[in-house]
Amino acid sequence: MLDINESLTKKILVEFIRDETYKAGFKKVVLGISGGLDSSLSAHLACQALGKKNVFLYYLPYETISQSGFEHTRMVANGLGANFEIIDISEIVNAYILKESDMNKIRKGNVMARVRMTVLYDQSAKNDALVLGTSNKTELLLGYGTQFGDTACALNPLGDLYKCQVRQLASYIGIPEEIITRHPSAGLWEGQTDEGELGFSYDEADQILNFLFEEHLKRDDIVDRGFNEKVVDRIVDRVKGNEFKRKLPTVPKISKF
């Protein structure tokens, strides 16, 4: 039900990156890579679309570097042969967060995500490139991302793929198994994992979101199919509550309509 045609999907996404980049008048893209699945796949697709010399990869760590994340990042960057740079964001982030007492980890995480966005956009200006997003459909629907942070980009090739489909495509393309099976994490604090924070697995979320949005089932029908009703409700609430993140800023229409 959620399986994709890998070769056609890859072809369309590669063509998408090429077409949209050229249409905007650019030849290059920049993107942040973490050693995680989504950014690794996005980097691979970008290199296929534009050529490795036109793709700029950035690893943007804050203080505590996840060793496995860094190793995986190196693996991806070396494997692709694209331009690669490490820019430590710790000083920039600390310049602000140390002035704010009692900042909780969510706020700190969001500051980090937005500093990464700032760095990527500046690097895009430096390299005359577009910023490539790496968010997938599951994250976007659940609102699991920082508005104008990691969700800020010019184009986002994975934005209509559920997490399980990202996994399927990554496996088809040959992304290393250890990256595919690694626990997804935004890396915003030590020990953070997406599924730990969400309270349900991506596999569960994908099935429920598919029932909601592709098959247009009602909440009760999904529960009847054996899904935990608390999880279903949590997902429905997250989707509704985070709709604002999926829209452009709302402007009141008062001129010609």
SS3 assignment, position 238: helix
Q: Report the residue number, 172 or 189, with the smaller CB distance to another protein.
A: 172
Tell whether residue 215 is a contact of another protein (CB under 8 A). no
DSSP state of 56: E
Please report how close the Cβ of residue 19 comes to another protein at its closest, in angstroms: 5
Tell whether residue 192 is a contact of another protein (CB under 8 A). no
Measured between alpha carbons, how far is 95 from 148 in angstroms, rounded to an integer?
20
| Residues forming beta bridges with residue 132, ordered by sequence position | 155
- The backbone torsions φ and ψ at residue 239, rounded to the nearest 5 degrees and listed phi first, read -60, -50
Secondary structure element (H or E) that encloses residue 135, with its range: none
Q: Report the residue number, 98 or 254, with the smaller CB distance to another protein.
A: 254
Q: Report the residue number, 3 or 190, with the smaller CB distance to another protein.
A: 3
Out of 11, 53, 126, 225, which residue is the one contacting another protein (CB under 8 A)?
11
Tell whether residue 9 is a contact of another protein (CB under 8 A). yes
What is the chain's alpha carbon radius of gyration, rounded to the nearest angstrom?
19
Q: Report the residue number, 23 or 99, with the smaller CB distance to another protein.
A: 23
Residues 16-35 that bind another protein (CB under 8 A): 16, 19-20, 23
**Which two structure tokens, joined as six digits, stand for 85?**
């740079």
Tell whether residue 243 is a contact of another protein (CB under 8 A). no
Number of residues this chain uses to bind another protein (CB under 8 A): 13
Residues 131-190 that bind another protein (CB under 8 A): 155
Tell whether residue 216 is a contact of another protein (CB under 8 A). no
- Answer whether 21's CB lies under 8 Å from 49's CB: yes
Cα dist from 225 to 78, 200, 202, 218, whole Å: 45, 17, 18, 11
Q: Report the residue number, 58 or 211, with the smaller CB distance to another protein.
A: 211
Tell whether residue 8 is a contact of another protein (CB under 8 A). yes
Measured between alpha carbons, how far is 110 from 188 in angstroms, rounded to an integer?
8
- The backbone torsions φ and ψ at residue 253, rounded to the nearest 5 degrees and listed phi first, read -90, 110
- Answer whether 206's CB lies under 8 Å from 162's CB: yes
Tell whether residue 98 is a contact of another protein (CB under 8 A). no
Q: Report the residue number, 8 or 98, with the smaller CB distance to another protein.
A: 8
Contact residues for another protein, defined by CB under 8 A:
3-5, 8-9, 11-12, 15-16, 19-20, 23, 155
